[in-house]
Structure 1
């Protein structure tokens, strides 16, 4: 609660300051709003542009809420944003990638009021100048421009009730005086992330069912500071610092296990406790030089990133009976799972613009990353009577060094008012080395990778007339594994059910194509195709493990293993619209589409241990996913103005994702109905949001193999709940925003989590 109390104090002090400023402006007349008809949603070259400055959904909302209501964007877990037909969405601000890790960025977006946003750009197929991976798309948030000196800011406090109560608060300020600009943000919150699980796996002769809950308490605090100084009329120097910290102590797992083998049934409890804390700090120095009056400029960045996570787990297995009575510990595993990441990065970009609407961009980047993972694992087993006896002590110090060199060139030409095109390529060199001082296998002690990749890009845009526009884009990308994916640690859920990271995971390649048609800047059709080669994913292997020396395990196991799992194709077709009706009383965006997935992968051996699997009869077990599926996706966001003065608004939002084949099996349909009520009063906004009203946003995955194995996951994340928030804007609202700078280490941050 200390974080919230501190920010509340800032909230009250800001209110006092604003009241003093307001007394100086009581005689100022308010100018009535002039409604100008303009294109709110349109297609420009390589991106969709959603102008939200005058939209009724902006005021009182958070930036995250606003993004969820943007055409082509969605979130099914209220944590991550997804662009239709894309795996992941990267957040940029004013054309610069945000300099934060994924968790801190989500908290910032949820604690930042949306009033300062001018427009949102959705780039579904990024060009060669962007450092993105796989089929990632880009969401570029363009802030409103403020022109005069002074101070302004905003404060927000919110309280949510799902299964547990949660609170959050934020304070932001912007100051500009002559050539100096400073912006800062402080945000914090506390919550308990709750989940209810039912896990089943096995076959006709043996099975395991685990039922119970996971509670993960979190306390977080974070913020940023940007300092921007105009050296001359043509050059600027900027320093950006981002920081975040999260504490998750006494996170618990309580699962009751029913284990059947033939006619025998055993009962156990899995009771796990975890203490974890993480810290993320980064600093970026930026120099920008404008080289001519046409907009040509040089951009140079140097950055340092330090990420630390310390995690301790105590995993207990207890004997039980059908009445769920605890009968004593049979196994206890202690794990220390620290991770330290250090990254030094640099980027150089030069954009040259010519008078004949021709632009050439060239640049390069360098990233040097070192991750240090000093893992300790101690296993105690009942052997055969108490006290527990230490049977395994498996420390593993895994160090990963990676160097990435990247170079790109793009050329963009506007041939006429109707036709424009862009072509480019990236060349990336990746050299990495993973070493382990106590690996269980000799092949794990030194893992060296080298990649050299040409990544071409092409896009064309043609305006048939004022009402019709068509465009096409192609890009190729690679996806390097995240640092946690290659850290060879085991995350235990139950005694025979765990996830396993894999240092042998190699980079995958992705090829994307997209055809877009836009009509009257309100209606759109998007056809897309993505091909993933050696895709990186998590695959379930289950059965009786057989070690490379032929020793067969005594218990059926389920391992979720991170690995390269064959190839995959995704094809989608989507139609949608964004319009206002009834004299702007109703604002709506709606899209409906179909997605076709083709999976083609098999896995027979655990790549981290060399173990194969067999069933109870000794027959080999292979996990296969050579299946396809076609699913429907629907999303609609509606804002209804309830009064003439534009002070009351009702929001009705809904999404539906049909069942589809994914790597783990068939993901059953997801849907959510969300309602909101908002009241604007002077500089205050009061909002009430109710999410997942029908309690239908629950994950269910099931898979049946030809060999008789099955796997079922039911996960309730308690999405149904309500949030009440208060937002207050203070100060001179004409303060010019500090430049947002793309950090040189930005492309590394997304791989820390």
Structure 2
């Protein structure tokens, strides 16, 4: 039921504090272990550098847990990572973007031990050479250097108990002999994603309440194979294959609905079932040539990506009474919602280094993507009688993106350095539908160009004080499922609606950073979003373009460009060890101010407007500002002299803030862990959200009398037990990690 509940899950895509994608977005690849002895946190040019090579946080942890405890990084939904409480994070390995889609990335990070990490670099405002969207930041994981040939690897097993039990396992192996390196991973698991909902909406004289559960069983299996061969002293050739499969059969929605209009109240049950499976395979070929002794090099990539998702839903509505008794079925809707994505990509980068500390980078990329969505929707009423308006919709979307960039980076002195660059992108797209509800939806063509400048400088005042500034402009294209014009039904009168008219939005980011003694920092940032893409609730009696009025009020969560917004924040923090490294802490506290400015009165996919019972047209508006406080601290306490027992105490808090859907109430989580290491084994127990306070609540009250309330409990309180074993020669050279040419496209799949 991932698509059906998108209207609520969007909270984690639109909130401007640390937490999901899209999404729609964060990615990573193969990571192994960590042995940590010291901690250093400092600012270098365009990035923060966290040296974890000696931290007890890493050993026995998953890579995801390690990233959550890195300064400036956080997660409130245990699925996605945020930087400084707002920016989405993309994951890089050794300077190369990872080669996985967002869904497989989350499972991979949680199933992979973090044992070979030397340092983690956090790039809050990426330069022009990076293919990122919107306000995305980058997390670059730098692996330890291996010195000898041989074989090593690790195995990890874990079991998690929340509302349901879940299990995960992974196996990784790394082999090098002379010029040949092979790296492989296999990981998988099964779980049931459980959610409890209370949904209320209505007007001054009508109300609609739905209360119940959603259970989404999942079985995952994935892995990768990397082959790297050194052709000679200056060139390498590498082939990478990533694969991921997910099976989610018998996902269920069970909601009890109470609809009141005037003095009349109706009761019903929504009983929905979904069977879905998805497959993601990608192949990337990379060639790297070093052109001189200064580090200049040419990098060429060619890639193919294939993504398939098959989704079938059976949505049933039953009459009921105040006691919740299930009676006659009144409506049945069958939906067949497949999606196939094929992408061919190419990328060329050249970096020229000069002896006067000047570096010039130029490059370009090309992405050709075709998505095929052959959707079917059949509705039956009562006897049953087929709805004559039930029609299939075959939507095909073709997109071509051309990107070019140039950057110049100069170190003027030991104290001052700067970087300037620009990126030029050309986007041509065409969406066609053979059975669209309106003529406007049958053919949607868009062609646009964007010039995206970048500027940064870094000034070391002395050996204790450092100041830096960055500015960048980016765009955010809609994901492929967002523009597929289908609706996902939750109840008869409550559903989400995708929108092929969504256009790319623009983002302008700037950041000022001050750092003291490589331990204390202050970050001031500002982001402006133009034509922000989000989900907007429209409700009331729908009025079609021909003037016909619906018999019942509805609530539609519409994906659209909803005005502009601004985010301003100030954050202070510390990363330091005390008492001879018995206690290591990183602590952040910040203030964030959000300015929302959007309104919508028409469903862009149908042209419907909405009236209240008095016949007045309704406009949804969000022109509210909010100021919120974010607090986060991660602590590791060594319990013995031999460094074998460790206690972890992690906490985050954010008070209420205004987002696109309304006012998000305060969120908080307290997590505890205990860890024991001996030889090559690590045993750990984690207690997450022990106070059960990380539950989403949103309220929205409009001046016209409309209201909307969401209560979403994803059962974040759980206990996880894990066992990790490292084997083989730990000095094995790490296989070179390669950025796939199709990586920028993968973040836009489901």
TM-score (norm 2): 0.95
Instruction: Name the structure 2 match of 1:425.
Output: 422
**CA deviation vs aligned residue, 1:339-381 (integer Å, no higher than 9, x gap):** 0000000000000000011000000000000000000000001
Following the alignment from structure 2 to structure 1, what is the Cα–Cα distance between the partners of residues 40 and 588?
16
Instruction: Name the structure 2 match of 1:197.
Output: 197
The CA deviation at 1:412 is: 0.1
The CA deviation at 1:451 is: 1.2
Instruction: Name the structure 1 match of 2:89.
Output: 89
Following the alignment from structure 1 to structure 2, what is the Cα–Cα distance between the partners of residues 394 and 633?
48
Instruction: Name the structure 2 match of 1:460.
Output: 457
Instruction: Name the structure 2 match of 1:369.
Output: 369
Instruction: Name the structure 2 match of 1:311.
Output: 311
Instruction: Name the structure 2 match of 1:281.
Output: 281
Following the alignment from structure 2 to structure 1, what is the Cα–Cα distance between the partners of residues 143 and 553?
55
**CA deviation vs aligned residue, 1:501-547 (integer Å, no higher than 9, x gap):** 00000000000000000000000000000000000000000000000
The CA deviation at 1:236 is: 0.1
1:265 maps to 2:262: no
Q: 1:542 aligns with which of 533, 539, 543?
A: 539
**CA deviation vs aligned residue, 1:127-158 (integer Å, no higher than 9, x gap):** 00000000000011111111100000000000
Contact 1:380–1:391 under 8 Å retained in 2 = no
Contact 2:74–2:85 under 8 Å retained in 1 = no
1:530 maps to 2:531: no
Contact 2:201–2:207 under 8 Å retained in 1 = yes
SS at match of 2:107: helix
**CA deviation vs aligned residue, 1:670-714 (integer Å, no higher than 9, x gap):** 110000000001100000000000000000001000000000000
**CA deviation vs aligned residue, 1:606-665 (integer Å, no higher than 9, x gap):** 000000000001000000000100000000000000000000000000000111000000
SS at match of 2:169: strand
Contact 2:47–2:122 under 8 Å retained in 1 = yes
1:743 maps to 2:715: no
Q: 1:559 aligns with which of 547, 556, 559?
A: 556
Following the alignment from structure 2 to structure 1, what is the Cα–Cα distance between the partners of residues 338 and 384?
29
Contact 1:254–1:269 under 8 Å retained in 2 = yes
The CA deviation at 1:746 is: 0.3
In structure 1, runs of 5+ residues without a counterpart are 1-32
Q: Where do 4+ consecutive residues of structure 1 move more than 6 Å?
A: none
The CA deviation at 1:388 is: 4.2
Instruction: Name the structure 1 match of 2:499.
Output: 502
Contact 1:545–1:611 under 8 Å retained in 2 = yes
Q: 1:677 aligns with which of 674, 678, 681?
A: 674
Q: 1:493 aligns with which of 483, 490, 509?
A: 490
**CA deviation vs aligned residue, 1:101-142 (integer Å, no higher than 9, x gap):** 001111111111111111110000000000000000001111
Following the alignment from structure 1 to structure 2, what is the Cα–Cα distance between the partners of residues 481 and 344?
19
SS at match of 1:417: coil
Following the alignment from structure 2 to structure 1, what is the Cα–Cα distance between the partners of residues 416 and 590?
28
Following the alignment from structure 1 to structure 2, what is the Cα–Cα distance between the partners of residues 204 and 285?
60
SS at match of 2:153: strand
Instruction: Name the structure 2 match of 1:72.
Output: 72
**CA deviation vs aligned residue, 1:150-205 (integer Å, no higher than 9, x gap):** 00000000000000000000000000000000000000000000000000000221
Instruction: Name the structure 2 match of 1:17.
Output: none
Instruction: Name the structure 1 match of 2:99.
Output: 99
The CA deviation at 1:34 is: 11
Following the alignment from structure 1 to structure 2, what is the Cα–Cα distance between the partners of residues 561 and 390?
23
Following the alignment from structure 2 to structure 1, what is the Cα–Cα distance between the partners of residues 125 and 384?
60
Following the alignment from structure 2 to structure 1, what is the Cα–Cα distance between the partners of residues 503 and 123?
27
Instruction: Name the structure 1 match of 2:513.
Output: 516
Instruction: Name the structure 1 match of 2:299.
Output: 299
More divergent stretch after superposition (84-93 vs 346-355):
84-93
Contact 1:86–1:136 under 8 Å retained in 2 = no
Instruction: Name the structure 1 match of 2:7.
Output: none
Count of paired positions? 716
The CA deviation at 1:418 is: 0.3
1:709 maps to 2:701: no
Matches within 5 A, 1:632-651: 632-651=629-648
Contact 1:86–1:137 under 8 Å retained in 2 = no
Matches within 5 A, 1:41-440: 41-382=41-382, 386-440=383-437
Contact 2:544–2:607 under 8 Å retained in 1 = yes
SS at match of 2:327: strand
Following the alignment from structure 1 to structure 2, what is the Cα–Cα distance between the partners of residues 312 and 220?
19
SS at match of 1:67: helix
The CA deviation at 1:393 is: 2.1
Matches within 5 A, 1:435-446: 435-446=432-443
Which one has the largest radius of gyration?
A: 1
SS at match of 2:115: helix
Following the alignment from structure 2 to structure 1, what is the Cα–Cα distance between the partners of residues 744 and 53?
29
Shift of the 34–671 alpha-carbon distance from structure 1 to 2, 3 Å rule, reads: closer
More divergent stretch after superposition (298-307 vs 88-97):
88-97
Contact 1:381–1:391 under 8 Å retained in 2 = no
Following the alignment from structure 1 to structure 2, what is the Cα–Cα distance between the partners of residues 114 and 418?
34
Contact 1:372–1:398 under 8 Å retained in 2 = yes
1:625 maps to 2:618: no
In structure 2, runs of 5+ residues without a counterpart are 1-34
More divergent stretch after superposition (389-398 vs 133-142):
389-398
Instruction: Name the structure 1 match of 2:597.
Output: 600
Contact 2:622–2:660 under 8 Å retained in 1 = yes
Contact 1:330–1:388 under 8 Å retained in 2 = no
Contact 2:536–2:661 under 8 Å retained in 1 = yes
Shift of the 34–339 alpha-carbon distance from structure 1 to 2, 3 Å rule, reads: closer
Contact 1:638–1:653 under 8 Å retained in 2 = yes
Following the alignment from structure 2 to structure 1, what is the Cα–Cα distance between the partners of residues 84 and 39?
22
Following the alignment from structure 1 to structure 2, what is the Cα–Cα distance between the partners of residues 34 and 159?
25
Following the alignment from structure 2 to structure 1, what is the Cα–Cα distance between the partners of residues 400 and 483?
16
Shift of the 706–66 alpha-carbon distance from structure 1 to 2, 3 Å rule, reads: same
Contact 2:113–2:724 under 8 Å retained in 1 = yes
The CA deviation at 1:84 is: 1.3
